[in-house]
Structure 1
Amino acid sequence: MTEKEWEGDFDPMADPEEQKHLLSVLDSFRSYRHLAHYNGTHLRRQAFYSLPSSHWTLLSQPPFSILDSLSKMDDLIDSNAILAEAIFITGFQAFIAPSLDSEWVAAIVPEKYAHDQYQVYSTVMDHLKAESTQTNMEKARSCVNQFYREWSEEGRCEREKCFDPVVHSLDAEFSLRAESRKDLSKSDLKVLVPGAGLGRLVFDVCRAGYTVEGNEISYHELMASSLVLNHIKSPGQFTIAPFALSCSNHLTRADQFQTYSIPDVHPGTELMKSFGGEKIPANERMSMSTGDFCVLYSQPGSKESFDAVATVFFIDTAPNIIRYIEAVHNCLKPGGLWINLGPLLWHHASQSPNTNEEKEEKRGKAEKYRNVDTGIADPGSVELTDDEVVALVEHCGFAIEKHEPGSVNTGYITNTRSMLQSMYRASFWVARKK
């Protein structure tokens, strides 16, 4: 990426609520080790020893060796935690460190921790009274597991099914345009990837030669993608066990405790290789914007900025998909391409606040942001079928050039050795702005 890792008018430290949320996200990665040990093995040991003594004695011995398995799980939690804490450090450096007073930090950090980056940042977090939420802790665990899908060799199968159709569609579009413009370079085509996640699709599109901008609103994903795209030293730098903490539906303990090296490639090295005959070096063709997709790309400053928009497992995150369609239409150039692949697991089904406190908080936010475009946080939601989505896209100024409903069978962070297999029959379609 460019030296400035994230672009856009975005200062989370300027708003108390946003700052509180940011600190909660950072704390969720910082707390990964402790909470995973507590929930993953401590509570299981308690439950195990609550069995009749003759039963737990039996299960402690081969071939069961349950206590040995829990010890192995502890080791794998520590391995996962190394990655979680690296994400914490990356996020802290990006969002918190620039605003800190060095003398204040020196005053609160014990001398024994002065050369331990993690302990320095952790001490500051304690003084800032950072405290994570259950939701953010679950997102941190999910984010660590997501590295399997996006940045392991074994996750290639899922990536090929979901990302390759996007790159192939871009290549076909480039070939079509190059017929009438012989001097056209792939780097001349600017692609937007909303919901960029851990950045692998952004990376793959850039490696294919295009100029690409990722967009992401989640701090968890932003911090993790920054680590892998900007701070990785070598392939296989981290080892993760994404299925270790779930003890259900395994045929063997070996299946449960599978480990994977990530990343499968060194992004910087790979992008240098991809420079080839393109006009612009790869590190200048890839960027990431931070913030709400609806708000950022509905603005006049984004109008007709991109030749293509690629959405993968993204559009069902919309409470109101019309907002997404309008934003895509606004930021695409006339004749630009919208490439979409994914299911419709609508994330924002209509829910009413349950407690008086939640109702009061909702009213307070509505009052505070009365005259502000809150984008994805706008009230209301709707869930459409695939054919209704396509009809709506057509109604909003696009011509559907390809529609293959249910054509892509893929899992999402799927343990292929598990007794339980969940598969999506994702829809793939390509639309052109009229």
Structure 2
Amino acid sequence: MDETAKEWEGDFDPMADPEEQKHLLSVLDSFRSYRRLAHFNGTHVRRQAFYSLPQEHWMLLSKPPFSILDTFSNLDDLIDSNAELAEAIFIAGFKAFLAPTVDSEWVASIVPEKYTHNEYHIYSTVMDHLKVQTSQTDMEKARSCVNQFYREWSAEGVVERSKCFDPVVAALEDEYRSRTKLAPNLDRSELKVLVPGAGLGRLVYDVCRAGFSVEGNEISYHQLMASALILNHTQNVGQFKIAPFALSCSNHISRSDQFQTFQVPDVHPGSALSSVGKSKIPGHERMSMSTGDFCVLYSQAEYSEVFDAVATVFFVDTAPNIIRYIESVRNCLKPGGIWINLGPLLWHHTSRKESESDDSEEKDLKRAKVADAGIGDPGSVELTNEEVLALVQHFGFTMEEQECKTYETGYISNPRSMLQNTYRPSFWIARKK
């Protein structure tokens, strides 16, 4: 995936629909606005509240050992550090999606001469002239996306990754070894893997590094832009410094815990994927990403019986109707192919009255103007793990392995926090009959 235009595959064109274009611009602006909004909500509002205390109180807290004003200054520095990553995502996303559609002469006419060699300011000027309206939901997603780099692309995030990604790669290794008993010369690249809900792309990368051919799929522009930056445009290991816990001021034992910083990425994907590794084919030729609704894309005839394995991690509970996911997995898996799943059942779409629905979320679900609305279809249901397993088997799968409570993991968790949220995800392997 060397060229920006080839980073996402499929026939989905976000600029062809006015509503979709509006949503895309909102996502771009959410990354561009990260710095300003984080400073406002992270320190400006807190400074106002601090100075609203009785004078003798805030004066006391301004001195050591408290030094709250110094804390605010440190927080401002960390926000700027996070913002460098957010703005890099904005630039990469703008170049991939918006730049090909804007008139270069018009851009030249609106950009001040002093900014002609500054990509961020050029693109930001264009955004200003487009009068973009950014949703609150998209701004929150941008903040969450920056924090997610800790989980997927920092060395310290390996604690969570090893619990969630390693079992998947191990299952693929077992499947490969099993198949080589019948076909000793089988190259790893011949095992084709699909990763729906690819997020920031780390599992896709790990599967590729293991030698297999892999395709990631993602519907979220936030995730797509961020994964494209890290997989295609980073220059070196540790290029960005992030402080994922800085903007949360609760449950910290010490300020040093709150202000922990981490370098991302912990590997340079470009260098790693240029090598052959465990396969006869270089990594960059074995890895691809697609954008769009998983249900819509992979239920189509062109994807019928294409993949040897589907790997879903923290994904199936994003389905309002999990039967749609099961049908899509069944369609795109070859007979005898395996579905590897690891994740909890924190159902994302509980039943709500139409008047209570979030406009931005509704737009996220109606990504493409097609007859099949995919996860945008009406209705939702929340099932237990036993019911999910029964459904998978009902639709033509044989359950070969299933475990629950064996794996314990957090999700972008601060190990030093006084509050620890732990998942005990279900892990299972099902084979298509």
Secondary structure, in 3 states, of the residue corresponding to 2:216? strand
Secondary structure, in 3 states, of the residue corresponding to 1:401? strand
Higher alpha-carbon deviation: 35-44 or 121-130 = 121-130
Of 8, 11, 16, which aligns to 1:9? Answer: 11
The AA in structure 2 aligned to 1:246 is S
Q: Partners of 1:55 and 1:124 in 2: how far apart?
A: 46
Deviations 1:320-349 (A, max 9, x none): 000000000000000000000000000000
Structure 2 match to 1:18:
20
Q: Partners of 1:160 and 1:326 in 2: how far apart?
A: 29
Q: Partners of 2:96 and 2:59 in 1: how far apart?
A: 50
Q: How does 1:13-412 map to 2 (within 5 A)?
A: 13-273=15-275, 275-276=276-277, 278-354=279-355, 372-412=371-411
Q: Partners of 2:245 and 2:219 in 1: how far apart?
A: 26
Say if 1:399 and 1:198 are closer, same or farther in 2 by CA, change over 3 A.
same
The AA in structure 2 aligned to 1:353 is E
Q: Partners of 2:45 and 2:340 in 1: how far apart?
A: 46
- Residue 432 in structure 1 maps to residue 431 in structure 2: yes
CA RMSD of aligned residues (A): 1.7
Unaligned runs of 5+ in 2: none
The AA in structure 2 aligned to 1:374 is A
- Checking the alignment, whether the CA contact within 8 Å between 2:210 and 2:278 is kept in structure 1 is no
Q: Partners of 2:393 and 2:358 in 1: how far apart?
A: 42
The AA in structure 2 aligned to 1:231 is H
- Checking the alignment, whether the CA contact within 8 Å between 2:2 and 2:232 is kept in structure 1 is no
Secondary structure, in 3 states, of the residue corresponding to 1:254? helix
How far is 1:69 from its partner?
A: 0.1
Q: Partners of 2:109 and 2:204 in 1: how far apart?
A: 41
The AA in structure 2 aligned to 1:328 is V
How far is 1:130 from its partner?
A: 1.2
- Checking the alignment, whether the CA contact within 8 Å between 1:2 and 1:286 is kept in structure 2 is no
TM-score of the pair, normalised by structure 1: 0.96
- Checking the alignment, whether the CA contact within 8 Å between 2:277 and 2:283 is kept in structure 1 is no
How far is 1:113 from its partner?
A: 1.1
- Checking the alignment, whether the CA contact within 8 Å between 1:149 and 1:413 is kept in structure 2 is yes
Deviations 1:183-223 (A, max 9, x none): 10110000000000000000000000000000000000000
The AA in structure 2 aligned to 1:431 is A
Secondary structure, in 3 states, of the residue corresponding to 2:133? coil
The AA in structure 1 aligned to 2:426 is S
Unaligned runs of 5+ in 1: none
How far is 1:356 from its partner?
A: 11
Q: Partners of 2:120 and 2:132 in 1: how far apart?
A: 15
Structure 1 match to 2:419:
420
How far is 1:353 from its partner?
A: 2.8
Say if 1:48 and 1:382 are closer, same or farther in 2 by CA, change over 3 A.
same
The AA in structure 1 aligned to 2:320 is P
How far is 1:272 from its partner?
A: 3.1
Higher alpha-carbon deviation: 348-357 or 196-205 = 348-357
How far is 1:270 from its partner?
A: 1.8
Secondary structure, in 3 states, of the residue corresponding to 1:424? coil
Identity %: 71
- Checking the alignment, whether the CA contact within 8 Å between 2:304 and 2:333 is kept in structure 1 is yes
How far is 1:354 from its partner?
A: 2.9
- Checking the alignment, whether the CA contact within 8 Å between 1:2 and 1:287 is kept in structure 2 is no
Secondary structure, in 3 states, of the residue corresponding to 2:235? coil
